């Protein structure tokens, strides 16, 4: 079973949950940006947890199914059509051999996910099928998809869709995310912390899967933000020497030498994954204890 890539879009990659347990060797996790959309896509086609999907950014791919398959689209609203007929998000859809799925420009959100029954079948690299484009690691030949690529999919048995139902999310241009302070909040003045938790920051066009750069007021530090490099996680918020925060995302580096003022609650990372340049972000403090209770 396979899918032919007719047009790939600007950044369509194979991703799964991520490549874990190798940061100590300098290998970053990568994986999907929007875990909620990813999990929904796999669930809708009855895949087991962790199967690989396609992640599309701003503009989707045009794909020809080489054999019959069940698929689901989640995440950004990309106005997809199957042989010219509109396709709903967050539903299991049947495609027959030879049919073409055209995924268009995102009109809401910025990242769309395509799951097929069985999953995308690329080699496991360090336990993951995720693509790290910069390192040319994993995914489909370690790169974004190109026209003419043929993606194998894992064989799927006969299957009947369930009545699993998701409400397609609404993506707002102004979002609020919860942040656990630290681990280096002591590097910042009380005024700096007040600024961070009260100001509105705008997502810069100079953002990518590695991190969301922000435009907004500087966060005042006590005597600079240089630290001995330590570990980074998805959602770490670094404050470099310029004072304006950067939210580190799925392709974050393994370690960094700037103080981290806080860490975004995992439940709120999908909001950031779907945010577009020009969208506004507000940060709200939450304790580690309250975050654990929510979990």
Q: 136 with 183, same domain?
A: no
Q: 110 with 247, same domain?
A: no
Q: Does residue 226 lie within any of the structural domains?
A: yes
Confidence of residue 92 (pLDDT cuts 50, 70, 90): very high
The torsion defined by the Cα of 91, 151, 275 and 266, in degrees rounded to 10, comes to 80
Domain of 112?
2-152
The answer to whether the beta carbons of residues 71 and 56 sit under 8 Å apart is no
Q: What is the pTM of this model?
A: 0.96
Q: Does residue 161 lie within any of the structural domains?
A: no
What the block records as the tokens of 171 is: 């993506």
Q: State how many domains the chain has.
A: 2
HSE, side-chain direction, 13 A CA sphere, residue 198: 7
Q: Does residue 160 lie within any of the structural domains?
A: no
Q: 118 with 214, same domain?
A: no
pLDDT of 157 higher than 80: no
Q: What is the pLDDT of residue 159?
A: 84
Q: 13 with 134, same domain?
A: yes
Helical spans, DSSP H, in 20-78: 35-44
Q: 129 with 210, same domain?
A: no
Instruction: Provide the 3-class DSSP secondary structure of residue 257.
Output: strand
Percentage of the chain with pLDDT > 90?
95
The answer to whether the beta carbons of residues 229 and 149 sit under 8 Å apart is no
pLDDT of 163 higher than 90: no
Q: 18 with 142, same domain?
A: yes
Direct distance between the N- and C-terminal alpha carbons of the chain, in angstroms, rounded to an integer: 38
Phi/psi zone of residue 132: left (φ > 0), alpha (ψ -120 to 50 degrees), beta?
A: beta
The 8-class DSSP code of residue 274 comes to T
Q: 10 with 66, same domain?
A: yes
- Give the integer Cα–Cα distance in Å for 132 and 26: 12
Confidence of residue 154 (pLDDT cuts 50, 70, 90): confident
Q: 27 with 124, same domain?
A: yes
pLDDT of 182 higher than 80: yes
- Give the integer Cα–Cα distance in Å for 59 and 159: 30
Q: 145 with 189, same domain?
A: no
- Give the integer Cα–Cα distance in Å for 277 and 7: 24
Instruction: Provide the 3-class DSSP secondary structure of residue 288.
Output: helix
222-227 contacts, C-beta under 8 A, 24 or more apart:
222/186, 222/187, 222/188, 222/189, 224/187, 225/184, 225/187, 225/258, 225/259, 226/257, 226/258, 226/259, 227/184, 227/187, 227/257, 227/258, 227/259
Q: What is the pLDDT of residue 66?
A: 95
Helical spans, DSSP H, in 132-251: 190-198
Q: Does residue 31 lie within any of the structural domains?
A: yes
Q: CATH no. for residue 269?
A: 2.40.100.10
Please report the sign of the dihedral spanned by the C-alpha atoms of residue 30, residue 141, residue 90, residue 160: negative
pLDDT of 155 higher than 80: no
Mean of all residue pLDDT scores within the chain: 96
Confidence of residue 121 (pLDDT cuts 50, 70, 90): very high
Q: Residue 13 burial by CB count (10 A; 0-12/13-18/19+): exposed, middle or buried?
A: buried
């Amino acid at each position: 079973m396979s899918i032919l890539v007719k047009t790939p879009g600007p950044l369509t990659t194979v991703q799964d949950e991520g490549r874990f347990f190798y940061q100590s060797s300098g290998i970053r996790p990568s994986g999907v940006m929007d875990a909620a959309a990813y999990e929904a896509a796999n669930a809708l086609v009855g895949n087991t947890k962790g199967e690989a999907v396609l992640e599309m950014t701003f503009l989707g791919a045009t794909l020809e199914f080489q054999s019959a398959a069940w698929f689901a689209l989640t995440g950004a609203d990309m106005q997809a059509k199957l042989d010219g007929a509109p396709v709903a998000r967050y539903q299991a859809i049947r495609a027959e051999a030879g049919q073409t799925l055209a995924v268009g420009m995102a009109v809401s959100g910025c990242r769309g996910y395509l799951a097929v029954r069985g999953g995308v079948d690329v080699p496991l690299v360090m336990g993951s099928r995720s693509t790290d484009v910069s390192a040319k690691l994993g995914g489909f030949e370690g790169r974004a998809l190109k026209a003419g690529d043929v993606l194998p999919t894992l064989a799927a048995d006969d299957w009947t869709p369930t009545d699993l139902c998701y409400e397609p999310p609404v993506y707002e241009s102004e979002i609020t995310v919860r942040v656990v302070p630290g681990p280096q909040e002591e590097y910042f003045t009380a005024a700096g912390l007040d600024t961070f938790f009260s100001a509105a920051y705008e997502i810069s066009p100079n953002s990518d899967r590695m991190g969301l750069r922000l435009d907004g007021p500087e966060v005042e530090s006590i005597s600079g933000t240089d630290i001995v490099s330590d570990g980074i996680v998805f959602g770490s918020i670094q404050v470099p020497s310029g004072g304006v925060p950067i939210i580190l995302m799925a392709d974050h580096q393994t370690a960094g030498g700037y103080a981290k003022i806080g860490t975004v609650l995992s439940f709120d990372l999908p909001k950031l994954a779907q945010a577009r340049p020009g969208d506004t972000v507000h940060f709200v403090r939450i304790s580690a204890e309250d975050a654990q209770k929510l979990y």
